[in-house]
Amino acid sequence: MESANEKMGNSLSSELSNTHSTLITYDSCAHHTESGWEFPVSGHLLGKKISRMRERFLNRLLLRFAQVDLTDQDSPEFALVQRRIQPFIRKAKKKVPIGVRLGGSYHKIASPTRRGGRFKTTVNLSSQAVSAFLEYDTHSQPYLPIRGVADLEQTVTIPSRCYLVDPVGISVVTDIDDTIKDSQVLDRRQLLRNSFAKPYEPVKGMKEVFEAWQQKAVKFHYVSASPWQIYNELHPFLDHTGFPGGSFHLRQFTLKGQVIRKLIRRRYQKKRNQIESLLQRFPRRQFVLIGDSGEHDSDIYGSLARQYGEQVRKIWIRSLAGNPLDLTRSLEAFRDVPKTTWRIFHEASELSL
């Protein structure tokens, strides 16, 4: 059944519908196969109903733990918080049949939505079918538009793009928090404030470097241990700031149980798995891995460089004042990795491919 409403366009809307269910798909990347292209598709289906228990929990968390002032309901900060918590507090739609329109073709997903309203599939298309519906973003990157279709009477669709990534070339895998977006992950209270109550701010100079690299046909993959619920805010921020389009790889998360650490803890094994999947899907591409010294990026990247040394072209770790990558940490993280492969940087201008 077709959606009653659709949110289409070049920029993702951060607003979820207050009167309809919302079907979200995420920007991804397609790889070449013997018969054409394979497109991974994933997303979530959220209902219009709100879990008041989750809403109270998040508001108390932000008020008490993060010290966010929520007393003035007319303030911009209050409005921002209420908008950003929506994906966390909306009740998911489970066991709903889902289809997807990819370019000019429709494909039924074999399994209905799962826990958290999640759905996932892959679609294979011939090169001829792809070329007939190919579009280009503002940075001239080719993609096919993706739009989910839910078997519900009233559903708003937030579409996405699947970028075509050639078998050979350079890919940049970049962390998000404190690498390209100022988040202050090491300070949990400030992290929550920046995530829910403050306008996002880019790390100075990173956008300009990425734009210059994009002119050299570099592809981008945004990988983070942050939960998928921030995608609706993160995607427009990167888009409006001027970062090149690319695939997004966020962690799966369901807010069940009122445990603070569940919201702010970082799942780094899953982050490693996401990057490893990209390396395996594109075995002939060269990868530049960019992260920061805040927590475990150096350990993840070092481990991947030891296993996929021929593919890992370079590793860049942004040094954070609160937790710089000292000699002991760096030698352990990058043991058996050539010194010419990894570098620590302080300013974006130091980066190179």
- Please spell the DSSP secondary structure of 4-72, one letter per residue: SEE--SSS---PPPSSSEEEEE--EEEEEETTEEEEEEEEEEEEEEE-HHHHHHHHHIIIIIS----S-
Rounded Cα gap, residues 22 and 8, in angstroms: 13
Q: Encoding tokens for residue 342?
A: 């990894």
Classify domain 5-50+90-165 at the CATH topology level.
Answer: Immunoglobulin-like (2.60.40)
Strands (E), 137-260: 142-150, 155-158, 160-165, 170-174, 219-227, 247-251
Query: Do 185 and 162 form a contact (C-beta atoms < 8 A)?
Result: no
**Quick one: angle between helices 297-307 and 268-281, nearest 10?**
30
DSSP class of 349: G
Provide the 10 A C-beta neighbour count for residue 238.
Answer: 25
pLDDT value for 295: 78
Rounded Cα gap, residues 226 and 252, in angstroms: 9
Whole-model pTM over 0.75: yes
pLDDT value for 269: 79
Query: Do 288 and 171 form a contact (C-beta atoms < 8 A)?
Result: yes
Provide the 10 A C-beta neighbour count for residue 204.
Answer: 11
Residues in CB range of 76: below 8 A, 6 or more apart: none
The domain limits of the chain are 5-50+90-165, 170-350
Q: What is the dihedral of CA 177, 254, 88, 251, to 10 degrees?
A: 20
Q: Label residue 154 exposed, middle or buried (CB < 10 Å: 0-12, 13-18, 19+).
A: middle
pLDDT value for 270: 85
Rounded Cα gap, residues 127 and 226, in angstroms: 34
CATH, domain 170-350, list 3.40.50.1950, 2.60.120.560, 3.40.50.1000, 3.40.640.10:
3.40.50.1000
- Starting at the edge strand found earlier in the chain, the sheet holding 170-174 runs 247-251, 219-227, 170-174, 286-292, 312-318, 342-345
pLDDT value for 7: 39
Counting Cα atoms < 13 Å in the Cβ hemisphere of 5 gives 13
pLDDT value for 9: 35
Paired with 21 in beta bridges are 155
Provide the 10 A C-beta neighbour count for residue 324.
Answer: 14
Query: Do 217 and 225 form a contact (C-beta atoms < 8 A)?
Result: no
Q: Encoding tokens for residue 217?
A: 């046909």
DSSP class of 320: P
Query: Do 121 and 101 form a contact (C-beta atoms < 8 A)?
Result: no
pLDDT value for 318: 97
Q: Label residue 310 exposed, middle or buried (CB < 10 Å: 0-12, 13-18, 19+).
A: exposed
DSSP class of 230: G
pLDDT per residue of the chain (353 residues) written in tens, 0 to 9: 333 333 333 344 456 777 789 999 999 999 999 999 999 999 999 999 888 888 888 888 888 878 888 888 888 888 899 999 999 999 999 999 999 999 889 999 999 999 889 999 999 999 999 999 999 998 899 999 999 999 887 889 999 999 999 999 999 999 999 999 999 988 888 998 999 999 999 999 999 999 999 999 999 999 998 889 999 999 999 999 999 999 999 988 766 643 445 554 556 778 999 999 999 999 999 999 999 998 799 999 999 999 999 999 999 999 998 888 888 899 999 999 999 999 999 999 999 99
DSSP H or E segment with residue 334 = none
Q: Encoding tokens for residue 26?
A: 């995420």
